[in-house]
Amino acid sequence: MSEQQEKRINPFFLPYGTPHDTPPFDRIRLEDYEEAFMEGIRRDNEQVDKTINNPAKPTFDNTIINKDDDTEGYYDLLDRVSTVFFNLLSAETNDEMDALAQKMQPILTQHANDVRLNEKLFERVRYVHRHHRKLTPEEKMLLDNCYDGFVRSGALLDKAGKDRLRQLTEEASILSLQFSQNLLKENKAYTLHITDAAQLDGLPQTAIEAAAEEARQREMDGWLFTLDFPSYSPFMTYSTQRELRREMYMAKNTECIHDNENNNLEICKRLINLRREIAQLLGFKTYADYVLKNRMAGNVRSVYKLLNDLIKAYKPAAKKEMLDVEPWDMAFYSHKLKLRKYNIDAEMLRPYFQLEKVIDGVFGLANRLYGITFKENKDIPVYHPDVKAYEVFDRDGSYLAVFYADFHPRKGKQGGAWMTQYQGQCIDKKGKNVRPHVSVVMNLTKPTPEKPALLTLGEVETFLHEFGHSLHGMFANTRFESLSGTNVWWDFVELPSQFMENYAVEKEFLRTFAFHYQTGEPLPDELIRRIVRSRNFMAATACLRQVSLGLLDMAYYTKKDAFTEDIIPFEKKAWKKAILGKQLPDTCMTVQFSHIMAGGYAAGYYSYKWAEVLDADAFAVFKKHGIFDQQTAQRFRDCILSKGGTENPMVLYKRFRGGEPTIDALLKRNGIKKR
């Protein structure tokens, strides 16, 4: 195609010709995506054909690497276009992009299935898995992942087994979707309509305005509150109208159990059974066994050990924290109590957290710990004028990575915050270390004509969190891209991110950047003290809440036999150990527990607590040697951040820590255990 000079060439088909070969966002047109997707699929299939028709005996090099690392002068086109397209679909989308995603998604799923279910390809992979030469740990991990991927897709099953697996998987995906849609419909079906302004008593102005807007949109007068979190949560926290709080609470906690078409009770039962059947078809005793095989926790026993240890440690403190109130009074009174005890409010801190200074603080932290520096480069193309692109340099001045930062909300950008990559790190066939391009995308408070962007402490933590993920990406130093950076087992991926959040309440760190945006005065000591103390407010109660959800999740997915019980009483029994207050007999969590029913957290909800244990345990090492200690930081980088998923995370962690993690540091951080 290089002969046709006159014709415009799809930029995905050529070297980008930009600094560090970053995506030429300014040159990509909508129609380029589809063309590149289709050509990418074609090349992928060609590659598979080449592999399976290779007359030579299957080896690691001619079978496993070929799929993963064929970067030499021949881009992995499908990967290249998918990365840009799907990143932008979250960060900067529009109707045309959304429509194209709808069109491409089934084609891409079909393609992935075709590869995964290719029997000839699996025969070769299986041969290598049995007869391979001596491999490095990283090669072994890649091989195991590859083999395991085929096996989990049913490659070892006979025809009937394969058909059954496909049926079960399809039914589960349809039911998950229905679960979510029912929940959404129930959320929408209920509204609290207020027409008497006196009933808004206690609510913050932002919540009142949002409710007025909600009413306007439905052409109603007054104020409309819904069960969506941004409406529900402030209402439960601030409204002084106890009866209305009760009404809202009961509406929320009885969703999807009414006798109507949105009922999720039978769907949950079926989903639990489907997942158990899938696991058993693939040779596992339970769904939890199937999931935990590829987790740092490793097995059901260690998950229960964590949950039970936490119950034992936190229960006495939770009893002391207990407010003797009805469930619908909980958020309201605990907020009041917090205000009285610590006299601290999120708004008070904003003037000290001007975005530009926070950026300096965060980059400065990375510099103190790891010696890296950030330099904005305006020649690197960006997908929106708000996005900043930096070149990152290592301690010795060598180029390390490209770092994009996209801070503020806008139309076409999803809510929340995340880290992603436009290029993963790997070592190509010529031995060149291809450095990563990472991106953090957030929705932080915007500047106004009068004021710069002033963040809350929560937003500073969000930035630190996503920045932690991006360090995991930027320090990556592995051979294979699929094992690089944040490509690690599920319950390990939040360690680098949550680890960074620890700094948010460290005085030594706050001192480096938290200055009043008008007066320049540093964040007062007294305020810092109150922030630190208020952090552990009701910590034991919050912990037991997470543990109770973890117990519920495990109770469903450790079932060996058909699940036939009634969901509501089963739920009350399953998490009883972690519940202190009384349980209302008519409410139900399971039917709205999207994480474990419709999301990817089935048999994985414990991960939240698991990651917290890890981040506290790792940060304890820094607390011991100094939170800016460079030697400790170097070890963290060498043992964990640079290693990605090349080895079992427990092995990596122990190499850094000198032993397995314990819950001690978390208990100390939460004030449960004195030093």
Contacts to Zn ion by CB under 5 A: 497
Query: How far apart are CB 465 and Zn ion at their closest, in Å?
Result: 6
- Cα torsion for 322, 326, 327, 332, to the nearest 10°? -80
Q: Which residue has the tokens 């809510």?
A: 415
Which strand (E) or helix (H) includes residue 306? helix 300-321
Question: Which entry of 138, 466, 481, 571 is annotated as an active-site residue?
Answer: 466
Q: Given the complex with Zn ion, which of 307 and 417 has the nearer CB atom?
A: 417
Q: Which amino acid is at 495?
A: L
441: β partners: 406, 418
Query: How far apart are CB 375 and Zn ion at their closest, in Å?
Result: 26
Query: How far apart are CB 516 and Zn ion at their closest, in Å?
Result: 30
H-helix segments, 117-264: 119-131, 137-152, 159-189, 205-217, 229-238, 242-253
Name the token pair of 68. 């993963």
Query: How far apart are CB 434 and Zn ion at their closest, in Å?
Result: 24
Q: Given the complex with Zn ion, which of 153 and 497 has the nearer CB atom?
A: 497
Query: How far apart are CB 487 and Zn ion at their closest, in Å?
Result: 14
Q: Are 207 and 235 in contact (CB under 8 A)?
A: yes
Q: Given the complex with Zn ion, which of 191 and 497 has the nearer CB atom?
A: 497
Q: Given the complex with Zn ion, which of 58 and 645 has the nearer CB atom?
A: 645
N-terminal to C-terminal alpha carbon distance within the chain: 69
Specify the 3-state DSSP secondary structure of 426. Answer: strand
Contacts for 619 with CB less than 8 Å, ≥ 6 apart: 499, 502, 627, 665
Query: How far apart are CB 467 and Zn ion at their closest, in Å?
Result: 11
Query: How far apart are CB 616 and Zn ion at their closest, in Å?
Result: 16
> How many angstroms separate the CA atoms of 292 and 279, rounded?
11
Q: Given the complex with Zn ion, which of 465 and 479 has the nearer CB atom?
A: 465
Contacts for 337 with CB less than 8 Å, ≥ 6 apart: 323, 537
Name the token pair of 103. 């069109």
**Residue 34 catalytic?**
no
Q: Given the complex with Zn ion, which of 551 and 618 has the nearer CB atom?
A: 618
Q: Which amino acid is at 174?
A: I
Query: How far apart are CB 469 and Zn ion at their closest, in Å?
Result: 6
> How many angstroms separate the CA atoms of 387 and 322, rounded?
46
> How many angstroms separate the CA atoms of 39 and 25, rounded?
20
Q: Given the complex with Zn ion, which of 497 and 558 has the nearer CB atom?
A: 497
Task: Annotate 6-25 with b (16+ C-beta within 10 A) or e (fewer).
Answer: eeeebbbbeebebebbbbeb
Which strand (E) or helix (H) includes residue 61? none
Q: Which residue in the shown chain puts its C-beta closest to Zn ion?
A: 497
Q: Are 461 and 504 in contact (CB under 8 A)?
A: yes
The 3-state secondary structure of 370-414 reads: HCCEEEECCCCCCCCCCCEEEEEECCCCCEEEEEEEECCCCCCCC
The 3-state secondary structure of 113-134 reads: HHHHCCHHHHHHHHHHHHHCCC
Query: How far apart are CB 462 and Zn ion at their closest, in Å?
Result: 9
> How many angstroms separate the CA atoms of 26 and 81, rounded?
15
Which strand (E) or helix (H) includes residue 540? helix 539-557
Q: Given the complex with Zn ion, which of 139 and 494 has the nearer CB atom?
A: 494
H-helix segments, 413-476: 457-474
405 backbone dihedrals φ, ψ, rounded to 5°: -130, 125
The 3-state secondary structure of 409-420 reads: CCCCCCCCCEEE
Q: Given the complex with Zn ion, which of 497 and 592 has the nearer CB atom?
A: 497
Tell which residue, 323, 322, 343, 329, has the closest CA to residue 240: 329
Q: Which of the residues are catalytic?
A: 466
